[in-house]
A = this chain, B = another copy of it.
Amino acid sequence: MPILCTVDVVLLTLNPQLQVALLPRDRAPLAGALALPGGFIHADEDADPLAAAARMLRAKTGLDCPYLEQLATFGGPGRDPRGWSISVAHVALVPADLLARGAAGLRWHPVDALPALAFDHAQIVAQAVARVRSKSQYSSLPVHLCGERFTLPQLQAVYEALLGEPLNKVSFRRRIDEMDLLEPIEGERTGGAHRPAQLWRLKDRRRGALTLTDRLLGPAVLAP
């Protein structure tokens, strides 16, 4: 019996809490059950697991996510009734303001109040959320859940939503400064007439990869 090889994508957004995209399965096994967007690796067209995940995400959600990374591989004899199977699971992040452009049919659920999911997808979501929260402690990852432009209070709120606790404004801004992530958008401010706030964006050279801090932003928790 060959082993079944699939990819699954934990697509997350922040709106206003952390939410995951689910789709009802359109075929057996477990037709109708809520599951992560995913499917079989296509040996004739996929260059690697990441390419398979990107193809799946486009096909099932209409989204080209700027942030897509491999999470971990789940496998075993019992996770799929069709036989010993592997899922190379991925995490994708999408800013909430991009969702209007695609993603019809997706059902968004807060990660802290999930319905029953097909297969071992609840476990995959839990590991993805732990990874995202862990990386939020020491990297620029949360910026990928912000829109193209944001104020520093908005960015701090995104970090706080992911870390699950309030951050000290002064030390938060010091960490952000140290990472050298952001540039002000000249002439662009937002908010009321008396206290307009500067708008910022990620520097071009920071877009390709995560940037790390050398001091954690929140309490230390283990990356899975």
A133 shortest CB reach to chain B, Å = 13
* A interface SS class: loop
Say whether B5 contacts A43, CB under 8 Å.
no
Complex: how many Å from CA A2 to CA B41? Answer: 10
Q: Give chain B nearest CB distance to A108 CB in angstroms.
A: 27
Q: Is A76 among interface residues, defined by CB-CB distance under 8 A?
A: yes
Q: A210-B222, A214-B216, A222-B209 are in contact. Are A77 and B3 (CB under 8 A)?
A: no
Q: Specify which chain B residues have a CB less than 8 angstroms from the CB of A88 in the assembled complex.
A: 73, 75, 86
CA distance A223 to B72 in the complex (A): 14
Tell me whether B216 and A220 are in contact (CB under 8 A).
no
Q: Return the contact of A83 from the options B1, B43, B83, B212 (Cβ within 8 A).
A: B43
Q: Pick the contact of A76: B48, B83, B138, B215 (CB < 8 A).
A: B48
- Most B CB atoms within 10 A — which of A1, A48, A77, A88? A48
**Chain B proximity of A47: nearest CB distance (Å):** 6
> Which residues of B are found within 8 Å of A151, using beta-carbon distances?
none
Interface residues of A in 121-172 (CB under 8 A from B): 138-139
Knowing A3-B2, A86-B86, the reply to whether A77 touches B213 (Cβ < 8 A) is: no
CB contact between A2 and one of B2, B46, B210, B219 (< 8 Å): that residue: B2
Task: Select from chain B the residue with minimum beta-carbon distance to A215.
Answer: B215
Interface footprint category on A: 35 or more
Residue in B46, B86, B209, B210 whose beta carbon sits within 8 Å of that of A49 in the complex: B86
Residue of B nearest to A86 (CB): B5
Q: Which residues of B contact A198 (CB under 8 A)?
A: none
6 A-B contact pairs sorted by A residue (CB < 8 Å) = A43-B84, A47-B77, A48-B76, A49-B86, A138-B220, A209-B222
Complex partner residue of A75 from B41, B219, B223, CB under 8 angstroms: B41
Residue pair B222, A3 in contact (C-beta under 8 Å): no
Nearest 8 CB-CB pairings of A with B:
A2-B2, A43-B84, A212-B220, A214-B220, A3-B5, A48-B76, A73-B73, A214-B216
